[in-house]
Structure 1
Amino acid sequence: MENSEKEPTVLFKFRQAMDAGDAAEVMKMLHNEIAVDVDFGGGVRPLHLAVQQGPDEIVQILIAQGADPDAVTESGWTALHTAALMGNLETAQVLIDHGATLNIANDLGHRPIDLARAHKRQSMISLLDKAGKKPWQFWKK
């Protein structure tokens, strides 16, 4: 079977494992079949999907395996944009702790904190604001 024929099946299997929170299968596939920052289309990476649907354990596995917390989709979204929009504090903290840049703007000019403000996610606003006041965040990238 050619790689082009195999790829959709592998991506589908990987997505199913992530959505199910099957940490063992995700790890197995990362070690044997798939790259941690594989593009699912449109610049969407496994970390983007895990932040949307998967449990935090999958987010942590992906980061531990080298997923880029600042990877952007074709529309400029990072995993932190999604966490901020959804109000997922634990995931946002994991991303911040692993170096996610706070001030990346998407194609509409929105930073993660802008999305949190637009959706009145006070706890997320506080988290991002507090993280943004740490000097090391201003000197990244």
Structure 2
Amino acid sequence: MTELHQAAAAGNFDQVEEILVQNKCDPNHRDVDWSSKTPLHWAAEKGHTETVRILIEHGARSCLRTEHGWTAAHFAAESGRLAVLRLLHSLHAPVDKEDCCGDKPVRIAEIYGHQDCFQFLKKAEIECKAYREMAAQKGISLDESDEEWAEMTKENENMNSKSYSHTQT
């Protein structure tokens, strides 16, 4: 866990800002010991709204996923962090991506009983889709795909299909 991960998880805004301004840590660094969580995942989970904002302003990608496919929105939904979800949505972060089990943040909010987050995300998903369509029509590029996670998922599928074929012989 980097110094930036720790400061983001603790909600130490001043320390996060200092680290980012001095370019001491990559805001998109994935901590392999913590399922590839980024500082943004930690800040979203803990409900540190201003830390989420400054991380994104300094290049943190809201589309990055953990090894299980969770985005910052999944963590905010699990913890009932409505203010973080509102901020992510206002910044056009993908709040409607499925994890490796097919669950979107709206489902996570529902599972954990966060009705305010659930109601917000139901509306936000529709707005997210409309924004995506408008952006495509206007040629606006969106940062919505985590290439590294997609590659890892593909490798896992290939390994699983090879294992399956070996058990069939």
For normalisation by structure 2, the TM-score amounts to: 0.69
Q: Is 1:89–2:79 an aligned residue pair?
A: no
The one-character-per-residue Cα deviations of 1:57-80 (angstroms, maximum 9, x if unpaired) are: 111110111111111111100000
Secondary structure, aligned partner of 2:54: helix
Q: Larger radius of gyration, structure 1 or 2? A: 2
Q: Is the 8 A contact 1:131 1:137 kept in 2?
A: no
Q: Is 1:23–2:13 an aligned residue pair?
A: yes
The one-character-per-residue Cα deviations of 1:81-120 (angstroms, maximum 9, x if unpaired) are: 1111111100001111111223211111111111112223
Shift of 1:54: 5.6
In structure 2, distance between residues paired with 1:90 and 1:123 = 10
Q: Is 1:70–2:63 an aligned residue pair?
A: yes
**What amino acid sits opposite 2:131 in the alignment?**
W
2:109 corresponds, among 116, 122, 139, to: 116
Q: In angstroms, what is the RMSD of aligned CA positions?
A: 1.9
How many residue pairs get aligned? The number is 131
Q: Is the 8 A contact 1:84 1:113 kept in 2?
A: yes
- Say which structure is richer in helix: 2
For normalisation by structure 1, the TM-score amounts to: 0.82
Q: Is the 8 A contact 1:19 1:54 kept in 2?
A: no
* Structure 1, gaps ≥5 residues long: 1-7
